[in-house]
Amino acid sequence: MNVAVFGAGYVGLVTGAVLADLGHQVMLVEVDQDKIAQIRDGIPPIYEAGLAPLLRRVRDRAALEITDQPLVAVAEAEVVFIAVGTPPLPNGDADLRYVKAAALAIGRGLDGHHRRVIVNKATVPIGSANLVEVWIADGYREVHGEEPPAAWYTVASNPEFLREGSAVADTLYPDRIVLGADVPWAFTVLRELYRPIIEQSFEAPLETPRPRGLTQVPVMETGRVSAEMIKYAANAFLATKISFANEIANICERVGADVGEVMYGIGLDSRIGTRFLQAGVGWGGSCFGKDLSALVFTSREYGYVPEILEATAAVNARQRQRVVSLLQEELKPIHGRRVTIWGLAFKPGTDDLRDAPALTVIEALLRLGVRVTAYDPVAAENCRRQHPDWPLTYAPDPLAAAEGAEAVVLMTEWPQVREVDLERLAAVMRRPVLIDGRNVFDPAAARRAGFAYHSIGR
């Protein structure tokens, strides 16, 4: 099929590249000229496992193109994805200005040569499919002065469930595909688009091998509003699991239990499961906080107070402050101390700094007059570019970052950090204080190495 994708960020670029590799002809629509130039050169503008060889492959076959001209992309497209950013507004609602701009552009390029399915791929507030329909009609009316024929297009919801760091694998081998539409022919088109993934009939890329035993991907067909709600509910539940684990961790510390063992014990219950029960400094990234805020905002719009969701966000915010409190206790007075931060990205495997817990901690430490050295194998350059005014020192490896430090704080569990020898670490530090925000190290081993060691819930 001919496919257009508005937005070449995490979702749009990965979705477009995977569809192109599966045999579709894809055109990305992007306004950022630097991003356009990089993608044309086959260079991913984001760090994502498996994306670089995938992008080079589809570029060499001319299966993926990129343009800043929306009408060119819409002209031939049978399926048009809207995968632009929906950043949070100060009140918690999602900012739909980029979605609106894409929908207006699609409307301006609409014609009756063939039917089109317009797909909301970005996470958008409940009811956004209706808004996109209205905005598409507005764009068409700008050009033609009349309403577009209803038979020419339909708007569908197909939420993404990608994890940064494994977005290519999650696109090729999803747990499920959710399709939300109000007309039967939209389901037919989207099932055909995704048929290689549904049937797992493609040859798996060497860099992203197929999980053992995967032969079929379940597809759920539902209405548009339910599809939109599924995305928000999924992220809200995962965020709640993590905050629940952190709430239990804080109780464990007070009663003398080990949260790792407690979470393993409850995770063996098939009704609960072991995933997303790791205690630590909390979740971050572009999805959980934004989606949680948007769902709370929508709930309150309709007169309902979602107390569990609000508590989930509050517990997460408190976990970040706990790191600062531990440092204040160990290094009092903390002003002028030297602290090393291991990890800037919100999770390993990505260079994404959006809502990263490490940045919240760094900002608090800088306000307290702390001298901060940071190490991250991938995200350091992003941090330098996004926060040029921060007086940070960046180090090339974990031990270099810790040299002369009075405390090390582990915020992102990169493999390079996990492999650090604790005795060597203690030897290069001025004062051996280790705050393990991800419960990576064995407490007994850390204390044998001479550390004043703190983890979360152990």
pLDDT tens column, 316-368:
999 999 999 999 999 999 999 999 999 999 999 999 999 999 999 999 999 99
Confidence of residue 165 (pLDDT cuts 50, 70, 90): confident
- Domain ranges for the chain, please list them: 2-222, 231-313, 319-454
Q: Which helix (H) or strand (E) holds 19?
A: helix 10-21
> Which residues of 193-281 form beta strands (DSSP E)?
219-222
CB-side neighbour CA atoms (13 Å) of 88: 19
Give the separation between CA 122 and CA 86, rounded to whole angstroms.
7
The C-alpha torsion from 398 through 403 and 405 to 409, rounded to 10°, is 10
pLDDT at 286: 81
pLDDT tens per residue across span 383-437:
999 999 999 999 999 999 999 999 999 999 999 999 999 999 999 999 999 999 9
pLDDT at 224: 96
Is it the case that residue 113 has pLDDT exceeding 90? no
Give the separation between CA 247 and CA 369, rounded to whole angstroms.
30
The CATH topology of domain 231-313 is N-(1-d-carboxylethyl)-l-norvaline Dehydrogenase; domain 2 (1.10.1040)
Contact residues for 75 (Cβ-Cβ < 8 A; gap 6+): 109, 111
pLDDT tens per residue across span 65-90:
999 999 999 999 999 999 999 888 88
Domain 231-313 matches domain 319-454 at the CATH topology level: no
pLDDT at 368: 96
Q: Residue 148 — left, alpha, or beta (φ > 0 → left; ψ -120 to 50 → alpha)? A: beta
Contact residues for 271 (Cβ-Cβ < 8 A; gap 6+): none
Q: Tokens 């600062």 belong to which residue?
A: 324
pLDDT at 37: 95
Mean pLDDT, residues 108-132: 91
Among 14, 287, 353, 383, which one carries the catalytic annotation? 287
Summary mean pLDDT of the chain: 95
Query: What residue numbers does the annotated binding site for NAD(+) cover?
Result: 35, 86, 123, 164, 290, 354
Confidence of residue 8 (pLDDT cuts 50, 70, 90): very high
Is it the case that residue 254 has pLDDT exceeding 90? yes
Mean pLDDT, residues 8-12: 93
pLDDT: which is higher, 341 or 122: 341
Contact residues for 54 (Cβ-Cβ < 8 A; gap 6+): 17, 18, 21, 168, 205, 207, 208
pLDDT at 123: 83
pLDDT at 192: 98
pLDDT at 428: 97
Query: What residue numbers does the annotated binding site for substrate cover?
Result: 161-164, 231, 276-280, 284, 347
Please list the residues that pair with 154 across neighbouring strands: 117
For the ranges 80-84, 99-103, 286-290, 306-310, the lowest mean pLDDT is seen at: 286-290
Query: What residue numbers does the annotated binding site cover?
Result: 35, 86, 123, 161-164, 231, 276-280, 284, 290, 347, 354
Confidence of residue 14 (pLDDT cuts 50, 70, 90): very high
Is it the case that residue 285 has pLDDT exceeding 90? no
Give the separation between CA 311 and CA 291, rounded to whole angstroms.
14
CB-side neighbour CA atoms (13 Å) of 194: 21
Percent of the chain with pLDDT over 90: 91
Q: What is the pTM of this model?
A: 0.90
Confidence of residue 93 (pLDDT cuts 50, 70, 90): confident
Give the separation between CA 353 and CA 382, rounded to whole angstroms.
8
Q: Is 383 one of the catalytic residues?
A: no
Domain boundaries 319-454, corresponding CATH code: 3.40.50.720
pLDDT at 101: 96
CATH superfamily of 2-222: NAD(P)-binding Rossmann-like Domain (3.40.50.720)
